[in-house]
């Protein structure tokens, strides 16, 4: 089945130690998103890639970076995790046409990050 895969499902890191979360997809979608979701809150968009074009949200801290080496993979790098970065990180994908229009985002299972 076509799907969005996130590894690992749980990640423990230390305060200030860089960490990378990964997302892959078999949907061949051209847009990949990263969301942060804290407990009992709605997901918050951090940034997205449309093909190779990176689109950062205005309020995303510089501590969060992303890489998309190819269509299938996208990484979320947290350069110096703080205690406030402990959250669920969700990856999503969608297919965007050049004319714009109807898009549906499909989400992966998420990676829960714990910062010690």
Partner 1 sequence: AQSVTQPDIHITVSEGASLELRCNYSYGATPYLFWYVQSPGQGLQLLLKYFSGDTLVQGIKGFEAEFKRSQSSFNLRKPSVHWSDAAEYFCAVGERAAGNKLTFGGGTRVLVKP
**Segment near partner 1 (CB under 8 A); pick from 13-21, 61-69, 78-86, 98-106:** 98-106
CB distance 101 to 46 below 8 Å? no
Identify the CA nearest to 45 among candidates 54, 36, 53.
36
**Interface with partner 1 by CB under 8 A: which range of 11-19, 65-73, 76-84, 96-104?**
96-104
Q: Which is nearer to partner 1, 81 or 110 (CB)?
A: 110
Q: Are 60 and 76 in contact (CB under 8 A)?
A: no
Question: Is residue 39 involved in binding partner 1 (CB under 8 A)?
Answer: no
Q: Which of 52, 103, 114, 116 binds partner 1 (CB under 8 A)?
A: 103
83 touches partner 1 by CB under 8 A: no
d(CA 81, CA 102): 35
């Amino acid at each position: 089945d076509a799907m969005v895969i996130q590894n690992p499902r749980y990640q423990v890191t230390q305060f200030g130690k860089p960490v990378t979360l990964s997302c892959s997809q078999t949907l061949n979608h051209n847009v990949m998103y990263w969301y942060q979701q804290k407990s009992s809150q709605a997901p918050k968009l951090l940034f997205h890639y449309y093909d190779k074009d990176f689109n950062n949200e205005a309020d995303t801290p510089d501590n969060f970076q992303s890489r998309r080496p190819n269509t299938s993979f996208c990484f979320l790098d947290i350069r110096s995790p703080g205690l406030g970065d402990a959250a669920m990180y969700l990856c999503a994908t969608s297919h965007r046409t050049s004319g714009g229009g109807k898009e549906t985002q499909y989400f992966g299972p998420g990676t829960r990050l714990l910062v010690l």
